[in-house]
Amino acid sequence: MVETPFKNTYSLSAKQLQDLDEAEDKMEKQDLTAAENMFLAMLEEEADCIPVLNNLGHLYGKHLSEFEKAVGYYQRVLDLEPDNAWARDQRRKYQRFLTYD
């Protein structure tokens, strides 16, 4: 396993960590299409990758205002990890946004 300055809770490979870091960097720099494409490609490789699902929820909710998609990705996280407080709080927030007229 690759040595990281943080606990690699999800046992991501070195390639996954690198790709995740690059996609998050693109999202922070507002290169949203590139970030989305990278996250979706990572999800194709591992459909249940919680960090990728969380990042897609964040991308669609905060940056793209696609709240239904955000809720869907956070729900997938909760299906895999029911105690994930971040995903639960974010899902709740974007569910409320869906009720606004």
Per-residue DSSP letters for 33-93?
HHHHHHHHHHHHH-TT-HHHHHHHHHIIIIIS--HHHHHHHHHHHHHH-TT-HHHHHHHHH
- Is 14-99 CATH 1.25.40.10? yes
pTM of the model: 0.90
At 67 the pLDDT is 97
Backbone phi, psi, residue 84, to 5°: -75, 100
pLDDT by residue for the chain (101 residues), tens only, comes to: 445 555 667 889 999 999 999 999 999 999 999 999 999 999 999 999 999 999 999 999 999 999 999 999 999 999 999 999 999 999 999 999 998 86
